[in-house]
């Protein structure tokens, strides 16, 4: 087994090939994988909330989609990744509990995914694959050698994107 | 601006612990009536934990757990999550249906029984909170999920995450004979409600 680097909630990490990045039990949070196919430098950030604006305690950049993706990209560039070659894959953003009303907080998964896509678009990072939404948890593994993202669930099988 | 868990002083934490204690006591009584058996309980523990340490309570983010989620409305708004390990969930359903199943897989019947227990436990919890604070509190119908602990815990963590980096939970341990049913209650007042709650308890 190649070494597996864990990324916690509101946390990020980067690896060189052949490192593997993983985050366990994504629910309404979103796991954003950035990958440079030329250098195989890979990064993963596990964000909890869409935006760092209007949040008084926002010092942890990895907690928010808007600041987390930017910071992850900067870290990868410092490692030698090429800006123009970076692509992304995302997973998570589910709604774990179902309620009839659609208050903002119950739709947090959807909002996290939307904010993630918006940030990626603003940074001109292509989104090449996603496995988002639903009402179940996901464990994901990003293989830097191939750029493959493996997604494991309970009761909804396993897949690669 | 809401109050974050980090800002609570020791008196406020003590009062919240006491509420947990009384609430769990009432919940144990309700459970005991439901199954017509004696239920004891340990003094509940109030834990304030960093996000990354929460899932370790139940054995890690990938462990399968059962979450029963309620919304609270009325004078304050917020939510309650009751988290049960599968082993405890099985014990609870065995108690309810007077049987001795070993396997941990849950069927529809089990899940609906758990939903009902969650209903009763949370209802008694809230009614004691309501009696102590004189606040009018209404609890929604429950929503149940069986999934990875990390995924289920993302819900309270995100709610707490809007104001801080820690969560507060009340660990309860109900005892019937040699069986221990361990559950964790997350009481999550919405941003402005925390202040109202603490005020009504006279600690702000």
Condensed to tens digits (0 to 9), the pLDDT of residues B111-140 reads 888 888 888 888 888 888 888 888 898 888
Could you tell me the CATH number of the domain that includes residue B129? Answer: 3.40.1550.10
- How would residue A103 be classed by pLDDT, with cut points 50, 70 and 90? low
Q: What percentage of chain A carries pLDDT values higher than 70?
A: 94
Among candidate residues B108, B139, B144, the one with its CA nearest the CA of residue B125: B139
Q: Which of B61, B165, B167 to mutate to test the interface with A (most CBs of A within 10 A)?
A: B61
Q: Which of A7, A8, A9 to mutate to test the interface with B (most CBs of B within 10 A)?
A: A9
**A102 pLDDT higher than 70:** no
Does residue A133 sit at the B interface (CB-CB below 8 Å)?
Answer: no
Q: What percentage of chain B carries pLDDT values higher than 70?
A: 98
**B55 pLDDT higher than 50:** yes
Beta pairing class for B78-85 and B143-148: unpaired
**A2 pLDDT higher than 70:** no
More reliable by pLDDT, B44 or A135: A135
What's the number of domains chain B is made of?
1
CB B51 within 8 A of CB B186: no
Q: Which residues of B touch A (CB under 8 A)?
A: 1, 4, 51-52, 55, 60-62, 64, 67, 69, 71, 140, 143-155, 157-159, 161-165
Nearest-neighbour CA in chain B from A73: distance (Å): 23
More reliable by pLDDT, A5 or B53: A5
Enumerate domains of chain A plus CATH numbers. Answer: 4-160 (3.30.1330.200)
The Cβ of residue B89 has, within 10 Å, a number of other Cβ atoms equal to 24
A29 catalytic? Reply is yes
* Domain interval for residue B174: 5-200
Per-residue pLDDT, B181: 82
**CA distances in angstroms from B50 to A33, B15, B161, B177, listed in the order given:** 24, 21, 10, 34
How does the average pLDDT of chain A come out, rounded? Answer: 91
**B100 pLDDT higher than 80:** no
- How would residue A7 be classed by pLDDT, with cut points 50, 70 and 90? very high
* Catalytic, out of A12, A15, A29, A86: A29
More reliable by pLDDT, A147 or A57: A147
- The ipTM assigned to this model is 0.86
A115-124 long-range contacts, CB within 8 A, separation 24+: A115/A50, A115/A51, A115/A65, A115/A66, A116/A30, A116/A32, A116/A47, A116/A50, A116/A65, A116/A69, A116/A90, A117/A90, A119/A65, A119/A66, A119/A69, A119/A70, A120/A32, A120/A69, A120/A88, A120/A90, A123/A69, A123/A70, A123/A73
- How would residue B1 be classed by pLDDT, with cut points 50, 70 and 90? very low
Per-residue pLDDT, B9: 82
Residues forming a β-bridge with A47: A30
pTM of structure? 0.86
């Amino acid at each position: 087994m190649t070494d597996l680097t864990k990324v916690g909630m509101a946390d990020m990490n980067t690896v060189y090939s052949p490192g593997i990045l993983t985050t366990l039990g994504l629910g309404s949070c979103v796991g954003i994988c950035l990958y440079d196919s030329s250098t195989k430098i890979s990064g993963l950030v596990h964000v909890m909330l869409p935006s760092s604006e209007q949040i008084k305690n926002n010092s942890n950049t990895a907690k928010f989609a808007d600041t987390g993706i930017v910071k992850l990209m900067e870290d990868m560039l410092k490692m030698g990744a090429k800006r123009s070659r970076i692509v992304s894959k995302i997973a998570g953003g589910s709604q774990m509990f179902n309620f009839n009303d659609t208050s903002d907080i119950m739709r947090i998964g959807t909002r996290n995914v939307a904010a993630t896509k918006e940030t990626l678009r603003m940074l001109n990072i292509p989104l090449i694959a996603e496995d988002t939404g639903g009402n179940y948890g996901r464990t994901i593994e990003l293989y830097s050698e191939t750029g493959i993202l493996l997604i494991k669930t309970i009761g909804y099988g396993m897949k690669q994107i | 601006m809401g109050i974050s868990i980090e800002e609570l002083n020791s008196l406020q934490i003590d009062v919240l612990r006491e509420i947990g204690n009384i609430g769990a006591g009432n919940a144990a009584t309700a459970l005991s009536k439901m199954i017509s058996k004696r239920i004891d309980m340990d003094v509940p523990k109030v834990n304030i934990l960093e996000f990354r340490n929460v899932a370790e309570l139940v054995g890690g983010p990938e462990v399968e757990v059962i979450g029963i989620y309620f919304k609270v409305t009325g004078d304050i708004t917020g939510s309650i999550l009751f988290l049960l390990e599968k082993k405890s969930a099985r014990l609870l359903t065995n108690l309810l249906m007077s049987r001795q199943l070993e396997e941990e897989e849950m069927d529809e019947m089990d899940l609906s029984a758990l939903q009902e227990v969650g209903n009763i436990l949370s209802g008694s919890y809230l009614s004691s909170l309501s009696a102590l604070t004189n606040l009018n509190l209404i609890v929604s119908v429950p929503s149940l999920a069986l999934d990875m602990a990390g995924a289920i815990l993302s819900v309270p963590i995100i709610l707490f995450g809007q104001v801080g980096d820690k969560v507060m939970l009340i660990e309860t341990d109900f005892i019937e004979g040699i069986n221990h049913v361990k559950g964790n209650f997350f009481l999550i007042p919405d941003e402005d409600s925390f202040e109202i709650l603490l005020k009504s308890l006279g600690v702000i």
